[in-house]
Amino acid sequence: MSRCVRLVAQTLIAFGLLFPGLAEVRAADPEIDRLLQSPTGKDWVTNGGNLTNQRYSTLKQIDTSNVKQLKGAWMTRLKGSGFGGKYSFEATPLVKDGIMYIVTGNDDVFALNAKTGEFLWERWSGIDQKITSVCCGWDNRGLAMGEGMLFLGQLDANVVALDIKTGREVWKTPIEVWQDGYGVTSAPLYYDGIVYSGITGGEYGVRGRLTALDAKTGKILWRWYTLPAPGDVGGESWPAGTDHYLHGGATIWNTPALDPELGLVYFSVGNCGPDYDGSIREGDNLFCASVVALKAKTGEYAWHFQEVHHDIWDYDAASPALLFDTVINGQPRKGIAQAGRTGWVYILDRTNGKPLIGIEERAVQQEPRQKTAKTQPYPIGDAIVPQCAKPLEGYERAGCIFEVFWEEPTLVQPSGIGGTNWSPMSYNPDTGFFYVPGTIRTSAFARYGDQYKKGKQYNGGTQAAPIGSEMSGNWTGITATTNKIAWQKNVPYRVGSGGGSSTTAGGLVFHGDPSGTIVARDAKTGEMLWQFQTGFGAEATPMIYEVDGDQYVAIAAGGNQGVGSANGDAVWAFSLKGQLNPLWPPPPPPAVAGPASGPIAEGADTVKIGDNNIEFGYFPKRTRVKAGTAITFTNAGDTPHTATAFDNGKIGSWDTGVLNSGESKTVTFDKPGNYYYICTPHPWMYGQVIVE
C-alpha cells in the first residue's frame, strides 16, 4: 500500500469521521448518525459496519500474533427459528451498548446479551408459511437501527419497525404484495430519519425499486423504479410501445451505501427478466446489472454505471456496493466498488459513476435472436475467477463470459451462479485491498421462452451446472488502486453465493465457509491463521464488536440452501478469553454437480420433493426401476417445484410442470436408460431415474 494512501486512511480515522466537512444539522437520531459516519469500533450498528459498507473494524485487540488463541466465548441456539430445509441463515448481527440483535430466515428477531449470549427478548414474525414468491430459500440478511427502533424487511414484502428495548412492533408498512412475486431479503439502511429498502422478485417478473420510508411512522416517502418508464432516464433502453419494463426484474438484493457529504445513496441492481430470453426486450435494459446513485433525500437520479448490457446470463449485481477513499496518480479520489457475478470488481468514481481505473467497451459475439448488445464493459485488471468454460463430453458448445446461446445447451463460465453473488466483500484501508469471495463453476444455458403470469416464475430458460462438473471457490485480495490480484486462495466449496468477509485494524480478514468453519486470514498475504468448526454451514458475514474492553468476533451459522451447506440456528461469538471448543463438522456441501453420489432406492416409484424438512431436494434422489414404471412426483414442500428432464443441458423431453405444495404428477419411463432431471426454478436440485 502506498504511503499516500495510508496517510489518507489514517487522516480520516484521526478526524473520527469518514465524511469530514459536513455542516452541523439536526438529525433524527444524532448518536446513530454519528456512528454510521464514523469508523466502526466497539459497536456495529448497520449491516456493513457503517455507511460505507466496508465491513472494516478499527478494533485490534485480536491481531495476527494472537488470533490462534481464539475460542468460543458463547454459542446460542435460536430456539429452532429458521432451522429447516427451506431456510438459509445469512444475517449479520448488529451490536449496540452490549446488546446483539439478529434476525433469522423466518424473519424472527432476537436480542441477546453480547457478552454471554443470553436471551433478552424475542419477536416471532408469525409470517405466512405458504409464501411462494421466494426464489432461492427463505432468508433475511439483517437489520437496521435508529430512533430507538430496529428495522427489517420481510418475505411478505412488509417493512417492519420494532421497539429496540422490547421487540414490540411499532409499525408495519407493505411496500408490495408477495402474491405478485415480491419480497424483501436484504437488510435495510437507516440514516437521518429515513429507512431505505430494496425488494426481491427478479425471477417473478416484478418491477424493481428502492423504497424510502419515514423511520418514525413507516410512511413511504418516495420510490425509485429500477425499470424506467417511457420518458424517464433510461426509458429508451426498453422496447418502445411495450410494457416489458413493468415486469423486467432489476431487483435490489443488497443494503445500500450512503455518502452524507455528497448526499447520495448507492446500490447495485439485479438481473433482467425473463432472465435468459432477451428476444422480447431489445435494448440495454437499464437499470439491470447496474450500480446506481440517487439523491438520498429525494430519490432523484444522479448517475449509473451498467456492468452488463442486455443481460441474458443472470449476471446480477447482487453484492453490496462499497465506498472507499484512495489516491490514484497522486490525486485523492472518492471510490465505489462492486463485485459482480461476472468475476470482476467494478471500481468507479462515486461522485459521477465514471471508471476510476478504466473499463473498456469491447465488441462481443452476437446472437440476433437474443437481441444481444454489440459491446460489453471489460474492467482493466484481473478477474477473480476463470471466465471461460472447459469443453465437456456431450456438449457441443462452450465459451467464455459473454458466449451467446439460444435453444442449444451452451457452456458458459463464470455463469450466473459463479463469481460473486450476494456475498459482501470488505475493504481494509491499511492494506488498500478488497477481500472478495468467488464461486468457480460452469453452467449450461438454454433459452426456451416463457409467458409472463403475475406472481409466477418468469425465467425464459435455465442454467444448471452439468452433471459431474466440479464446483469450488476462492478468496481474493484485490488492490483497490489497480484492480489487480494481490493474493488468492482456492477453497473446496462455493463461497461467492454465501457468507462474505469482514476485516480489521488487527491485520485480519474473517469469513465463514460452507463446511462449517469460520476462518481468519492475514489481510496482507491471505495466509490462513485460524479456523474453528461451528457445527453448521457458516454462510453469513462475520462482524466484530467490543464489550467491557474485550473484542469479539461473531457469526451466524445455519447454512445456505443454494450451496447445500448444513442447516442450523446458531450464533457464535469468539474472544481471546473464550473457553468453548469446536463442534463436530457437519456433512459437507457438494463439490460436484448432480445426483451421481449417494444411495439408489431400488424400485421406488414415488419421489417426494421438499420432504424430510429439506425443501430443495428430491427424495429419493436416485431410484432404479423397471422399464414401463410410472413414477409419481409429489411436492411435499412449501415452494413450487418441477422435475424436468436435463439431458446434457437439454431441457424438457419430459416434465412434471410446476407443482405447487401438495400437487403430484406421474411420468412413465418406457425405455431403459439414465434419466437426469432438475427443478427449473431451482436448478441446483438434481435427481436421477435409472431404468432397466
Q: Which residues are designated catalytic?
A: 314
d(CA 362, CA 360): 6
User: Do 277 and 308 touch, CB atoms closer than 8 A?
Assistant: no
- DSSP structural state of residue 377: E
CA distance 495 to 438: 6
Contact 299, 288 (CB under 8 A): no
Q: How far apart are CA 503 and CA 520, in angstroms?
A: 9
- Interatomic CA distance for residues 274 and 287, integer angstroms: 14
Determine contact, residues 27/33, Cβ cutoff 8 Å.
yes
Side-chain-side CA neighbours of residue 310 (13 Å): 26
Q: Is the bond into 414 cis (omega within 30 degrees of 0)?
A: yes
Task: Give me the residue label for grid cell 456433512.
Answer: 587
Distances (CA, A) of 529 to 8, 62, 67, 520: 28, 12, 7, 6
- Quick one: which of 275, 282, 314 has its CA closest to 447? 275
d(CA 514, CA 92): 16
Question: What are the strands of the beta sheet with 264-268, ordered from one edge?
Answer: 257-259, 264-268, 290-295, 301-306
Alpha-carbon gap, residue 235 to 398, rounded angstroms: 34
Task: Tell me the C-alpha distance between 62 and 655, whole Å.
Answer: 55
Residues 6 or more apart whose CB falls under 8 angstroms from that of 297 comprise 194, 263
Q: How far is CA 678 from CA 368, 396, 618, in A?
A: 29, 20, 9
Record the cell numbers describing residue 560, joined without a space: 445456505
Torsion angle in degrees (nearest 10) through CA of 110, 539, 139, 294: 100
The span from the CA of 379 to the CA of 395, in Å, is 30
Determine the number of helices (DSSP H) and then strands (DSSP E) in the chain: 2, 48
Q: How far apart are CA 558 and CA 536, in angstroms?
A: 5
SS in 3 state form for 434-451? EEEEEEECCEEEEECCCC
Sign of CA dihedral 29, 30, 31, 34: positive
CA distances from 113 to 66, 146, 292, 595 (A): 25, 19, 38, 43
Task: Write the CA distances from 155 to 72, 528, 617, integer angstroms.
Answer: 32, 36, 21
Reading the block at residue 81, the C-alpha cell is 427459528
